[in-house]
Structure 1
Amino acid sequence: PEVRAETRRAVVVEVDGATVASGEVVLKPVRHLTIYLLPHSHTDIGYTQIQTAIQQKQVQNLLDGIAAARRTADYPEGARFVWNVEVLWAADLYLHRLDASQRAEFFDAVKRGQVALNGMYLNELTGLCRPEELIRLFRFATQIERQTGVRIDAAMISDVPGYTWGTVTALAQAGIKYFSAAPNYFDRIGSIMRDWENKPFWWIGPDGHSRVLTWIPFWGYALSHRYGRLSPRLIDDFFAHLDQHDYPYDLAYFRWSGHGDNAVPDPAICDYVRDWNTQYVWPHFIIASTSRAFHEFDQRYGRQLPVVRGDWTPYWEDGAGSSARETALNRANADRLSQAESVFAMFDPQSYPAPAFDAAWKDVLLYSEHTWGAWCSISQPDNPLTLDQWAIKRGYVENADRQSRKLLADALSRGSSQTIAAHSQAVDIWNTLSWPRTDLVSLNPELSGAGDRVVDDHGQPVPSQRLTSGQLAFLARDVPPFAARRYTVAAGTPWVETRATADPAFSQTRPTPFGGAVDSGTVRAAVDAKTGGIVELTARGLRGNFVDTREGEGLNDYLYLLGDQLQDLQHNGPVNIRLGEPGPLVASLIIQSAAPGCNQLGREVRVVAGRDYVELIDTVDKQRLEATNYYANDGKESVNFAFPFAVPGGQIRLDTPLAVMRPELDQIPSACKNWFVVGRWADVSNRQQGVTWVTLDAPLVEIGDLTARLLNSQTNPEVWRQHVGPTQKIYSWAMNNHWGTNYRAYQEGRVVFRFILRPHRHSDPAEATRFATAFSFPLLPVCARGPQPARIPFLRVSPPDVTVITLKPSDDGRALIVRLFGASGHNRSARLDWGEHRPRALFLSDTSERPCRQIGNQVTVPGYGVVTLRAEF
């Protein structure tokens, strides 16, 4: 019976009729607490075993979970087994691999509530995602909802600490409002558990209104790893934890992930819960789904929960720097898939191969998934388990590379009938973005064999130049959004409008320390003769030098650190500076040197005549770090490129997927500050002027100093950086092997890192987004066939600070999907103007791609918010 008031009872112990002990016990009322218990298996795709074995195991776990739910179907309510599918990758495998009768059993179990589906496809490193990749992380949830008829409104993520701010937006777009975040409870997590364990809150998205109820449970996802089984000791410890933290609610939950990662279901909890609930009134246990637990909590306490707004800057994305080549390739794969989808939408939406795109996107997601390799990847880097797991992980990237290239080529081939003879000297230049573009285009020799002169569709010459690679570069002007212009290649002298120059002998013409300079006529960069870094960056109409050289660093300086002590920081050796491209359209300097950690370091500094930016193309021919012990200080390395900007009082802003954030100011408590993950750009601006910095290949940055120096396991929250002060310094953290498990111990071979520098006037996040995105979505040349393409945009969106981040055919083949993003951070009323093909109806939609509410051609787009539309023709 329930103890309702403190009661004292005498206790006597007798043996053979004789009293051997006596005393008094105090019975106290037990807290009225309902505890929801969520069974699941933490999905590591690899790590404990090779990935193929994990595939089989997680499919079997689903079969076993269904069987356990059936066996306990007659247990009392609350004691019946429920199998939470942590990530939907397992359900996807199940549905693809098993027969019709087993699929029917799965659907029946979902409908009965015996199997609970959670919305995330994988335990993703969300900071690595491109915008559409982050949306795609929840796409399968909306697809399987249709098959089961059961709404998915909750998501789990396990092990991973920290999540990019746009995750809230992506969750909201998928109709998910509950987020069970259960990180690793001790290693490389900063203060996440200290700050947020059992402190549920509403996490507000970058748009200011999207929100998700976020709740980290006791011991994260690993409670069952710690205790092994349900027991009075566990319950006592749980109550002590709640009391210690003044937990104010009478409803709680914890995860039960079995005995280790990739564990099998543990139906023994059903007997324990049945017996406990029979014997005791409080606490009361209920085995449940994430959705049920969070829904009950929301109903009772949702209105009184704290509201938190900001980026939960993640911690584990740093490991992606251990495979820098593949990380760069995956970023490009995601962007190429987005471009290919747009081309299909413009050219031939009825032929859109949705299954092929689905497979390619899943490979992109699988690379960004948190399991990089084997548990012994650092201790035994050449163990067959390590090598075999890495081969599969790398295979995701290479598959996505092949698939994305094939899909883009297929899409482009549909631009005009292949039966029409090609114009041997003409190319159509297609713009797959939602604003007009003037950008450099490079044609391979097959498309430019007629000569070096280029004229536009009005017969006017445009600047062109044959590059040292054999490609023909020209400036395509005013290419309309989602449309094309035709250009013709002819024999003759290339037309010169303004001249770009590169002078490797600059130091010989003046008594300066410069080893050379490039000048576009709009922007100029001078290179240091000793280091090869940029020590002067100036722009016409803007004040001063944008390089802060006070501490001896220049822009794009190479910095190599063996271990974690800054006194051991090394630089490249003496440089050889020579002319690369001579102009007049493209001019560049090539800077070569020996460098620690490299077989050779090559850096190219390039400008385009009349354009207002400087391109940096850094080629690291990485030397394998040979170490007897990859845990030791001399077994750890990092490659960095410095960018100390001189923008007095400048504020740094970072582009992240579906958001823009300011370090420190837009971070929630426990967010990582030692390193940050950048989508496309960073910007340093004061009220008058600034610089936009674009990174195409390397996502990791350090702000203010080389602060990414925490090696191996790190369990003390106090060692992590607590604050980011005012600064205008950015360091690209291009490569590292700092982890003690999972990620790679070494990397080698040729890796290219590309950066762009653009001085500008006032800060404009939307302009930074447009500028940076253009480098990832290049203008696409297609061999011209038939009549000239109409210059009427397929779709135009205004105002220009509302950008189209997705244009694709719907998977059902009956519509186009348009995703809009409020890139300026200000709420806008956006207008859609269609070209020759106008939709008969336009609907608000979401990740499901279903029509929701019909609208006209105008829609409100929140600042840093996403609106998905479905256009039916």
Structure 2
Amino acid sequence: QPEVLKIHLKNIDDALDMIAATKNYPEAAQFKWNIESLWAVEHWLKQANPQQKAAFVQAVKDGSICLSALYANIMTGLSLPEEMFHYTDYAAQLRKEYGFAIPSAMISDVPGYTWATVTAMAKGGVKYFSSGPNFLGENHPYLGDRVGHFVRTWGDKPVYWQSPSGEEKILFWTGGKGYSSWHGTAPGAIFDRGAKKIAAYLEELSANKYPYKMVQWRYNVVADNGPVDTAISRFVKEWNEKYASPKIILNTPDRLFAAFEQQYGKDLPTVSGDITPYWEDGAGSTAQEEGQNRVNSLRLQQVANAYAILAPKRYDPQSFYEAWTNILMFHEHTWGAHNSITQPDVDFVTEQWKIKKQFMLDGDQQTNVLNARLMEGFSDKASQRIAVVNTHSWPATGPVEIQVAGASVKDAKGKILPLQQLRDGKYVFIAENVPPFGSAVYTVSNTPAPAATSFRRGAQSLSNGHISLTWDAENGSITQLSGPDGHNFAGSFRDQGLNSYWYVPGQDPAEAQTAPRLQVSVLEEGPVVTVISLKGEAPGAQTLEKKIILYAGAKEAVIENTIDKKPIRTKEAVHFGFPFGIPAGETTLDAGYGTMRYLKDQLPGSNMDVLYGRRWLDVSDATRGVQWMLLQTPMLEPGAMIDERLTIAQSHKEWRKEGKPTSTWFAYVMNNYWHTNYKADQEGTSHYRYALRPHGVASGAEMEKAASVFTQPFLSFPLKAGVKLPGSLFSLSNPAIIATSITPQPGGSLMVRLFNPEKNTQQTHFQWGSLQPSGIQKLSGAQPLSAGAEISLPGMGVHEYIILP
């Protein structure tokens, strides 16, 4: 990355020189430079002198330099919902500081993008999205490396792409030649190679009956991170002087897409759905780090909400921006070196992984610091009073772990609740109905709590009165999972139930091996929580441990899998199987800000081998279902584990073109299937946490709430004597509407993002608590509304409001 940064900094300098040198050329030949990632711009501006900055600002305003609104080339399938809204943070800063427009975004190399990308981009001011995927030429069976059916489906087929709510849309246009079709061309060599190459593309467009009179073609010479070609303007000038058609224009997405839209926009098709991406599976080569980065993303949003609740004046936007930047950069698509598989131990490879991993480590450290800063002035380790903060917009109930010893806790009304000591020395209790965007205080007491417990445990079974489970004594898979209606939601795959372990030694999933025998033990048993451990040897690992965790009163069972991985460099993968006992069920996945029905909401060209569940997947029929909640591992495989055998020309895997309805899904946890970039092996301990929640008729709001509480549990700390916490900021009158984030703004205002997870339009209004605002204003710039105004959100709609002080 440091070497790449040097190249990009020099390229901006060279581009400015070229812009000045060609300012008197015909407009079509005047040099243009498209900067695909604002990461490079931020670093360039930090080291530029005032004269350079002035020239840069003028070039952007003149349209000679085009800025992508995205900070980097992100792999969207890995991003958590709120994380996606930070793709354009730096673009917002540039707009504010310099008055730039920045209406377009571009992503290079990465094939496919999740549906919520549309929502996030549109909310970030993006109208136009230029995709330049990996491209290796017409002789490649898929046109690009591990791009599946994306390039053939979407290349040179511009469309309006609509968000899940239908309220937003962007003009989406994938370059048929990707970003790399000029690779191997030296600067200036276009004079020798250009005419033949251009003619061949025109013939191809004609043969494909391309219906438009303009087409985008990325021009990137030499290789990735190539230099400025100082000959290109002269080539275009001479070409246009010589030929009447085709006319070549050095252009930017801003101008090209605007001109294209003006001419063809009224006739463009509109599509709505997920273009399920292909490259995110490589993150399974560093599963522990990817899992931690996802946890960091969720925690950082939660800490921002907590600042709004407890200390909005202490919120530091720059510190949060820096933490979000590190989280994004870990999800940026360059994971490692080109020779990371063939030469995994050379310094060039190991150093690049250190740099990549550091983004995650820095984001983790920054999130911890921000949380610690918030607690300053509130927390005292010696206190017996425990503050529990609910960062969600509805009253919530859940477990709280503390370091303070006692026999019970007492709530504000004097109710005595059990406090259970755990093996690691911590204590746990259940906090009940903590107010929305508010807190509750519990006092640790030595008074014994009522002795009644709802748990029933057998040799291979456990129940808390709501959830009942039975597990296989040999392999530890869950063979029975039921809620109050008694229906068994556990299906079967190869004679195993839910949470079965599968290790594939090689590339053929038919060869998958499982854990031969696990030993059962009871780790925790008390009035608050019971934890069952199933531990032993497993193929590909030193040890495997499956924990079944059930809390008193909980409506979901928690699973925590721990793998102590062996370092293996031959091809391999690790999966956990979840066959659900709903034979005719429909599968719905968390799409971020919206939901995606498997098959029905996937657009052509989507990855049918691996999907992305963000925080949950649900399988339901008309009357009942089960929600499978995810934390560290978003990658999900429908029906079968991925087949990586090289059956296409003996050098490429065959990507599925179609999927089939299924109630059997797999968590795709680890692999080393790539031949480049990603790590060759991984070893050591990593943890994967899931939850299973049986339910009746599926409800979008209940799915969202359950997953939010699971992935973002209560914050808690011992409360300093004399400190009074603020009351609940507000709630929403309609429980189907959720406030997903609340962020302090300059001048004492707050930005609130509302989401309607239901399919139909919903209305709500704010019910104010400790906040008593003068009014609310939609972020899009409409007139201020009264504080009690009714708000309407379409199904899957996302609206942002400023709460005025």
TM-score by length of 2: 0.95
Deviations along 1:685-741, one digit per CA (max 9) or x if unpaired, are: 111111110111111110111135356999999921122212111111111111110
**Which residue in 1 is equivalent to 2:141?**
none
Of 386-395 and 560-569, the range deviating more from structure 2 = 560-569
**Rounded Cα–Cα distance in structure 2 between residues aligned with 1:710 and 1:156:** 32
Counterpart of 1:571, as a letter, is: T
Amino acid at match of 1:474: F
Matches within 5 A, 1:731-746: 731-746=666-681
Is 1:477 paired with 2:411? Answer: no
Letter in 2 for 1:494: A
Please tell me the root mean square deviation across aligned C-alpha atoms, in Å: 1.9
Show the counterpart of 1:523.
467
Residue 801 of structure 2 corresponds to 869
Task: Work out which of the two has the higher radius of gyration on C-alpha atoms and give 1 or 2.
Answer: 1
Structure 1 equivalent of residue 792 of structure 2: 860
Q: Distance in 2 between matches of 1:121 and 1:710?
A: 35
Aligned partners of 2:237, 2:548: CA distance in 1, in Å? 70
Match of 1:32 in 2: none
Secondary structure of 1:747 counterpart = coil
Query: 1:219: which partner in 2?
Result: 177
Give CA deviations for 1:119-166 in whole Å, capped at 9, x if unaligned: 111000011111121010012112111222221111110000000100
Equivalent in the alignment of 1:676: 611
Matched, 1:410 2:373: yes
Residue among 687, 692, 695 paired with 2:622: 687
Query: Runs of at least 4 residues of structure 1 off by over 4 A?
Result: 226-229, 710-718, 786-792
Kept after mapping to 2: 8 A contact 1:496/1:585? no
Match of 1:307 in 2: 270
Q: Distance between the aligned counterparts of 1:328 and 1:95, measured in 2?
A: 33
By how many angstroms is 1:550 displaced? 6.5
Deviations 1:460-505 (A, max 9, x none): 11132111121111010010101111101011323345322444xx
Find the counterpart in structure 2 of residue 455 from structure 1. Answer: 410
Corresponding position of 1:281: 244
CA–CA distance in 2 between the matches of 1:457 and 1:765? 32
- Alignment correspondent of 1:160: 110
* Structure 1 residue 834 corresponds to structure 2 residue 768: yes
Matched, 1:651 2:586: yes
**Does residue 119 of structure 1 match 2:64?**
no
Tell me if 1:552 matches 2:495.
yes
| Structure 2 equivalent of residue 775 of structure 1 | 710
The one-letter code matched in structure 2 to 1:546 is F
What is aligned with 2:685? 750
Matched, 1:620 2:583: no
Which residue is equivalent to 2:535? 592
Q: 1:248 to 1:808 in 2, by over 3 A?
A: same
**Matches of 2:36 and 2:615 in 1, distance apart?**
30
User: CA 1:550/1:86 → structure 2, altered by over 3 Å: closer, same or farther?
Assistant: closer
The offset of 1:764, in angstroms, is 1.2
Q: Is the Cα contact below 8 Å between 1:500 and 1:518 reproduced in 2?
A: yes
Residue identity opposite 2:273 in structure 1: G
Q: TM-score, normalising length from structure 1?
A: 0.88
**Aligned residue for 2:140?**
none
- Determine if contact 2:156/2:176 at 8 Å carries over to the other structure: yes
Find the counterpart in structure 2 of residue 76 from structure 1.
26
Match of 1:272 among 202, 227, 235: 235
What's 1:16 paired with? none
Q: Give the corresponding residue for 1:721.
A: 656
Counterpart AA for 1:837? L
Indicate conservation of the 8 Å contact 1:645/1:729, yes or no.
Answer: yes
Write the letter of the residue equivalent to 2:259. E
The CA distance in 2 between the partners of 1:487 and 1:435, in whole Å, is 19
Deviation at 1:398, TM superposition (A): 0.5
1:765-804 to structure 2, matched below 5 A, reads: 765-786=700-721, 789=724, 792-804=727-739
Query: 1:836 deviation in Å?
Result: 2.3
> Which residue does 1:488 correspond to in 2?
443
The match for 1:566 is 509
Q: 1:497 to 1:771 in 2, by over 3 A?
A: farther
> C-alpha deviations, 1:334-359, integer Å up to 9, x for none?
11111111111122222211111111
Counterpart amino acid of 2:664?
K
Change beyond 3 A, Cα 1:385–1:718: closer
User: Aligned partners of 1:306, 1:226: CA distance in 2, in Å?
Assistant: 35
Residue aligning to 2:387: 428
Alpha-carbon distance between aligned partners in 2 of 1:433 and 1:859, rounded to the nearest angstrom: 19
Tell whether the 8 Å contact from 2:493 to 2:577 is kept in structure 1 after alignment.
no
Q: Is the 8 A contact 1:711 1:739 kept in 2?
A: no
| Alignment gaps of 5+ in structure 1 | 1-50, 507-515, 628-634
* Structure 2 partner of 1:352: 315
Counterpart of 1:300 in 2: which secondary structure?
helix
Calculate percent identity across the aligned residue pairs.
34
Q: Secondary structure at the match of 2:504?
A: strand
Note if contact 2:133-2:175 (Cα within 8 Å) is conserved in structure 1: no
Q: Which residue identity is paired with 1:144?
A: L
Answer yes or no: is the 8 Å Cα contact 2:644–2:653 preserved in 1.
no
Offset at residue 530 of structure 1 (A): 1.2
Question: Please, which moves more after superposition, 389-398 or 490-499?
Answer: 490-499
The 8 Å contact of residues 422 and 786 in structure 1, kept in 2 or not, is answered as no
Q: Give the alignment partner of residue 401 of structure 1, picking from 330, 347, 364.
A: 364
1:740 & 1:692 partners in 2: Cα distance?
Answer: 35
In 1, Cα distance between the equivalents of 2:376 and 2:225?
Answer: 44
Q: Which residue of 1 aligns with 2:148?
A: 190
Q: 1:380 aligns with which of 343, 348, 351?
A: 343
Per the alignment, residue 478 of structure 2 pairs with 534
Does structure 1 residue 696 correspond to structure 2 residue 659? no
Q: Which amino acid in structure 1 is aligned with residue 770 of structure 2? A: E
Give the deviation of 1:852 after TM superposition. Answer: 4.8
Distance 1:312 1:740 in 2: 24
Larger CA deviation: 452-461 vs 546-555: 546-555
Number of aligned pairs?
790
Whether the 8 Å contact between 2:646 and 2:652 is mirrored in structure 1 is no
Letter in 1 for 2:574: V
Measured in 2, the distance between the counterparts of 1:784 and 1:165 equals: 42
| Correspondence for 2:224 | 261
Q: Is the 8 A contact 1:602 1:618 kept in 2?
A: yes
SS at match of 1:424: coil
Does residue 54 (structure 1) correspond to residue 28 (structure 2)? The answer is: no
Residue equivalent to 1:844: 778
Contact 1:675 1:708 in 2 (8 A): no
| Structure 2 match to 1:662 | 597
Most deviating of 778-787 and 213-222: 778-787
2:751: which partner in 1? 817
Q: Give secondary structure in 1 for the equivalent of 2:547.
A: strand
- Give the CA deviation at 1:227: 5.5
Letter in 2 for 1:193: V
5+ residue gaps, structure 2 = 136-143
Give the C-alpha shift of residue 97 in structure 1. Answer: 2.4
Q: Distance in 2 between matches of 1:179 and 1:798?
A: 37
Report how far residue 269 of structure 1 moved. Answer: 1.1
Greater shift, 423-432 or 528-537, is seen at: 423-432
Q: What CA distance in whole angstroms lies between the structure 2 residues aligned with 1:828 and 1:714?
A: 53
Aligned partners of 2:423, 2:321: CA distance in 1, in Å? 39
Task: Describe the SS at the equivalent of 1:273.
Answer: helix
Q: Is contact 1:84–1:115 with CA below 8 Å preserved after alignment?
A: yes
2:398 partner letter: D
Residues of 1 paired with 2:354 and 2:273: CA distance? Answer: 37
- CA deviations 1:799-828 (Å, max 9, x no partner) are 122211211112x45421111111123222
Structure 1 counterpart of 2:279, one-letter code: W
Q: Which amino acid aligns with 2:146?
A: R
Deviation at 1:100? 2.9
Once the two structures are TM-superposed, the CA of residue 782 in structure 1 deviates from its matched residue by: 2.1
The residue correspondences of 1:634-649 to structure 2 (distance < 5 A) are 635-649=570-584
SS at match of 1:785: coil
